[in-house]
Amino acid sequence: MAELVFIGTSSGKTSLNRFHSSFLISTSNYNLLMDAGDGISKALLTRRVSYDVIDGILFSHLHPDHYTGLPALIVQMKMIERKKTLDVFINMELVEVIQNFLIQSYLFPDRIGFEIKYHPLTDNVKFKINNNISFIPRQNSHLISVSKRAEYKFQSYSSSSFLLCIDDKNIHYTSDVGEKMDLQIFRGNTIDYLISEVTHIKPEDIFIAFDKNDLPGQIILTHINDDEIISLQNFIFELPASLKNKIIIASDGLKIKL
């Protein structure tokens, strides 16, 4: 049986109590880490997740709380003498950025001790890892505003949400979004689990984005500022029981059986 393990649930604002947003999809034959921001190595250690069990990392975008923990994690894998290949899944426009980031951290491919295999992703094209895990990346509006800066036109501003298929379950992972309309980018698909950030949108936006008849089976809120937790709890408390039972505020270490 597959399982979701929330490694971190904080927003980009560093917390003393929680790590930056990341979760592990664990199946019988593959463990996929979603994002690897600042502090991911300690976060995994705290959750007693061995660095060696991680088979692949899927990146949504290149804000520091989502990707800058990668070099430190590679160092930890090297220090435990990892041998198996690490898969890195990322938008095709960002592969070279990640490669250069590691090289500039003095993590040269011939000295790491294991292979890092890059899998360039194309927007809206399904990627199948194995018979248990596949996903569709789709661009959201998270970085549209900064992409208009003329002096940095050479950069890629790729930011993806994902429709993950784990066994027979569909998971819409928003990652960071730009507006509530991003919640609808996989509309038309049955969503068993919606894992939604609530820093750049409000929780009530979820109920605006979905008709009451097509709400996801379970809604998991993550990427939360510490000072927003109480207001989130109050928001859920005021909901009708039929909606209240659909929502979970994620906490570091939360495990959900799929």
pLDDT-based confidence at residue 151 (cuts at 50, 70, 90): confident
SS3 166: strand
CATH of the domain at 249: 3.60.15.10
% of the chain residues with pLDDT over 70: 100
The predicted pLDDT at position 200 comes to 94
If one compares 221 and 242, the residue with the highest pLDDT of the two is 221
Average pLDDT score, the chain: 95
Total structural domains in the chain?
1
DSSP 86-108: EEEEEEGGGHHHHHHHHHHTT--
Can you give the residue range of the structural domain that contains 10? 3-257
Q: Which of 171, 225, 127 is nearest to 23 (CA)?
A: 171
- Model confidence pLDDT, tens digit, residues 163-210: 999 999 999 999 999 999 999 999 999 999 999 999 999 999 988 888
The pTM for the full model equals: 0.96
Residue 129 has pLDDT above 80, yes or no: yes
pLDDT of residue 154: 74
Sorted by sequence, the CB contacts under 8 Å of residue 124 that are 6+ apart come out as: 136, 137, 138
